[in-house]
């Protein structure tokens, strides 16, 4: 029992304490509240996995509630992408809800607060209000409009609603305490004027509630038991509670929601600000929100990340109370770990040099049985064509090399994966001294799996290869980290874009074994000895396009070392 308690994260401990103190388990309800002003990223995945994971753990419903209170930045495109991301991660919501569903109820409650003398209209400039708000160490001063009569506030607020005032000219503020030690409690804004078309309510409203006013009241309407936010909202908790107190009626035996906070997920070599990600998109630094270099869920999906790997990453990285930075290498480990168990292994050559097997009969071809995974059952196999001419990687050949080079060199043997043992005898070079062709001989009796004595011969190197006449040409996009700095947006006096990695994308023409011709978009493979790759959405039957998800070797660790 003690071991089980130790394994709980602190959010689960809070829930367990509430249950022990009498909260009925059937009253548990959670929510994931995205703002539809951009695509979700890997940081949001932590919140998705936390909230929906709690729903699964406690068999409790989870609402998907869109915080759509700012029509200036919100679009239906973002709503659709968020729903797709949550579903792709493997989660199902109970109700699809929107803060805009509650605009009328929020307005009615606001009228009640004005009538109770708890809200007033202020027509000062934002600069004047900011000066009056004071500082964390100095109390604020009251607005000259704070003591307007209830009748005047009602009249002005209705004029705001009816569109009689310009944007920025009037706001509605809660009347709390301008000397409060928590700055958020110093008469916060409840409504502002925005004459913008809303993606759901159209032009019905030209005043929109602020997030703080909307947040707790929406939780109360939906009877959310635990409203879990990221850490920057901790200082907003006093205001959350104050707003809920204004509408909560204990006599109705309704649940009173509580806000609790956890640290947002920050990732090294990454920016997580939606504003900065939007900047990358709008300035053409990347090719859209789903560019495989982006930390968005759609970008990771396109790059070849699996929902299982992202859920596992969220689980392993854990839930923290304090801000921290998670090493991106952990995310890369999680996708390697999952694809190592699930991705078929195939052969592709990204930087080819031709090998001619001089004693292999011209015009002959044979089809060799090759397993998709030599280490696990159930993957099946395919036929791989073999011929007199094949491609291997340039780096797999040297004319001369020391004893630690176990690949192809003149006078030495290597095994071709699933095929024969070959021996390099000579090479052809161009005018620049670059090797363009390697001439080899093969041991006819050494075919892998044939059971012959020659097939059992031990040679130290095994190379992947592709038959030249059967090779499928493909465009391969070799992606790397988008930034060269571990904390690109935390450097003083430097713009985060100064750390854009110029080598974050290299496009090459590669040669693949023909079994990949029918690969479908988002199919994932291990290109043996090279890395994990995924079929991109740009791929067609005429032109295959693959993205590198992650390499097998961690070149960054070597560089840093």
Domains 103-211 and 351-464 share a fold: no
Which CATH number describes the domain made up of 103-211?
3.90.800.10
Task: Output the pLDDT for position 414.
Answer: 96
- Any idea which residue has 């907003």 for tokens? 236
Show me where the domains of the chain are located. Answer: 103-211, 266-347+472-560, 351-464
Rounded to an integer, what distance in angstroms lies between the CA atom of residue 188 and that of residue 326?
34
Task: Output the pLDDT for position 6.
Answer: 52
Each residue's pLDDT tens digit, 209-251? 999 999 999 999 999 999 999 999 999 999 999 999 999 998 8
Q: Which residues pair with 383 in a beta bridge?
A: 369
Rounded to an integer, what distance in angstroms lies between the CA atom of residue 243 and that of residue 401?
74
Cβ distance 465 to 417 under 8 Å? yes
Each residue's pLDDT tens digit, 443-471? 999 999 999 999 999 999 999 999 999 99
Q: What number of CA atoms fall less than 13 Å from residue 252's CA on the CB side?
A: 9
Residue 560 in this model has a pLDDT that exceeds 80: no
The whole-number average pLDDT for the span 420-424 is 97
**Considering only CA atoms, which of 80, 193, 173 is closest in space to residue 121?**
173
The CATH homologous superfamily for domain 351-464 is Ribosomal Protein L25; Chain P (2.40.240.10)
Helical H segments across 208-345, by residue range: 211-222, 237-247, 274-282, 297-303, 307-317, 328-342
Each residue's pLDDT tens digit, 92-127? 999 999 999 999 999 999 999 999 999 999 999 999
Each residue's pLDDT tens digit, 317-355? 999 999 889 999 999 999 999 999 999 999 999 999 999
Do strands 544-551 and 472-479 pair parallel, antiparallel, or not at all (unpaired)? parallel
Whether domain 266-347+472-560 has CATH 2.40.240.10: yes
Mean pLDDT of the chain: 95
How much of the chain exceeds pLDDT 70, in percent? 98
Region of residue 124 (left: phi > 0; alpha: psi -120 to 50; beta: else):
beta
Task: Output the pLDDT for position 555.
Answer: 53
Which residues are annotated as catalytic?
35, 264, 274
Local confidence band at 561 (pLDDT 50, 70, 90 cut-offs): very low
What are the respective helix, strand and coil percentages of the chain, to the nearest 5? 35, 25, 40
Task: Output the pLDDT for position 531.
Answer: 97
Cβ distance 183 to 139 under 8 Å? no
Cβ distance 67 to 213 under 8 Å? no
How much of the chain exceeds pLDDT 90, in percent? 92
Cα-based distances in Å from 361 to 53, 71, 364: 61, 71, 6
Cα dihedral 298, 303, 309, 313 sign: negative
Rounded to an integer, what distance in angstroms lies between the CA atom of residue 504 and that of residue 454?
45
Residue 3 in this model has a pLDDT that exceeds 60: no
Query: What is the Cα 502 distance to its own chain's centre?
Result: 22
Each residue's pLDDT tens digit, 280-304? 999 999 999 999 999 999 999 999 9
């Amino acid at each position: 029992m003690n071991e089980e308690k130790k394994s709980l994260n602190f959010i689960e401990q809070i829930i367990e304490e509430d249950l022990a103190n009498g909260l009925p388990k059937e009253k548990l309800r959670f929510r994931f509240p995205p703002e539809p002003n951009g695509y979700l990223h890997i940081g949001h995945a932590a919140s998705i996995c936390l909230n929906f994971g709690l729903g699964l753990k406690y068999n409790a419903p989870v609402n998907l509630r869109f915080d759509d209170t700012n029509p200036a930045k919100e679009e239906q495109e973002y709503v659709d992408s968020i729903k797709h991301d949550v579903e792709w991660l493997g989660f199902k919501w109970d109700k699809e809800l929107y803060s805009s569903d509650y605009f009328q109820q929020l307005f009615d409650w606001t009228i009640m607060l004005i009538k109770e003398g708890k809200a007033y209209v202020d027509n000062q400039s934002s600069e004047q209000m900011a000066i009056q708000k004071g500082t964390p160490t100095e109390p604020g001063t009251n607005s000259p409009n704070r003591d307007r009569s209830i009748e005047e506030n009602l009249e002005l607020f209705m004029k705001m609603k009816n569109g009689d005032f310009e944007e920025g000219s009037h706001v509605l503020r809660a009347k709390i305490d301008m000397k409060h030690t928590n700055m958020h409690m110093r008469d916060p804004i409840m409504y502002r004027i925005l004459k913008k078309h809303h993606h759901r309510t159209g032009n019905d409203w030209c005043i929109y509630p602020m997030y703080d006013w909307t947040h707790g009241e929406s939780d109360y309407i939906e009877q959310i038991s635990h409203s879990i936010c990221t850490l920057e909202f901790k200082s907003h908790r006093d205001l959350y509670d104050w707003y809920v107190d204004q509408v909560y009626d204990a006599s109705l035996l309704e649940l009173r929601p509580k806000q609790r906070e956890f640290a947002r997920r920050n990732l090294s070599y990454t920016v997580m600000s939606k504003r900065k990600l939007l900047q990358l998109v709008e300035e053409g630094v990347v090719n859209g929100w789903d560019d495989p270099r982006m930390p968005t869920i759609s970008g990771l999906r396109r790059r070849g990340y699996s929902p299982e790997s992202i859920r596992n990453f969220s689980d392993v990285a854990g839930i923290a109370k304090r801000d921290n930075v998670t090493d991106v290498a952990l995310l890369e480990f999680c996708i390697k770990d999952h694809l190592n168990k699930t991705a078929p292994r195939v052969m592709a050559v990204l930087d080819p040099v031709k090998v001619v097997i001089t004693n292999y009969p011209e015009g002959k071809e044979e089809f060799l049985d090759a397993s998709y995974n030599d280490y696990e059952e159930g993957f099946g196999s395919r036929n791989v064509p073999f011929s007199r001419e094949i491609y291997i990687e340039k780096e797999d050949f040297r004319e001369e090399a020391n004893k630690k080079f176990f690949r192809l060199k003149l006078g030495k043997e290597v095994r071709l994966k699933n095929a024969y043992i070959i021996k390099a005898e000579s090479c052809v070079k161009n005018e620049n001294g670059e090797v363009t062709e390697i001439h080899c001989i093969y041991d006819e009796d050494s075919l892998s799996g044939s059971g012959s004595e020659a097939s059992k011969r031990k040679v130290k190197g095994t190379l992947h290869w592709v038959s030249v006449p059967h090779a499928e040409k493909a465009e391969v996009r070799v992606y790397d980290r988008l930034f060269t700095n571990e904390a690109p947006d935390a450097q003083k006096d430097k713009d985060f874009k100064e750390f854009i990695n110029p080598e974050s994308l290299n496009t090459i023409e590669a040669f693949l074994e023909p079994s990949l011709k029918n690969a479908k978009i988002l199919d994932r493979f291990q290109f043996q000895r090279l890395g994990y790759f995924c079929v991109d959405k740009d791929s067609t039957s005429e032109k295959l396009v693959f993205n590198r998800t992650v390499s097998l070797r961690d070149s960054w660790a070597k560089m840093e070392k």
